[in-house]
Homo-oligomer: A and B are copies of this chain.
Amino acid sequence: MARPSKPKLNTDVIAKAALTLVDKHGEFTLPQLAKALSVSASSLYNHVQGKDEIVELMRGRAMSAIELPQGESESWQQTVCLIATAYWNSYSKHPRLIPLLTSHTVRDRTTLRVYDALAEAFAQAGFGAAQRLQAITIVDSFVLGSALDAAAPQLVWEADDTSSQQFKEALDAGLPMEQRAEVTFTLGLDVILDGLSSIPRS
Contact = CB atoms under 8 A, between A and B. Distances in A.
Interface of A: 25-27, 95-96, 98-100, 102-107, 109, 112, 115-120, 122-123, 128-130, 132-134, 136-138, 140-146, 148-149, 151-153, 155-160, 162-164, 166-167, 169-175, 183-185, 187-188, 190-192, 194-196, 198-199
A175 B109 contact: no
A22 B9 CA distance: 32
Contact of A98 (B99, B122, B171, B198): B99
Contact of A188 (B27, B142, B166, B194): B142
A1 to B, nearest CB: 41
A99 B95 CA distance: 7
Given A99-B26, A119-B164, A140 B130 contact: no
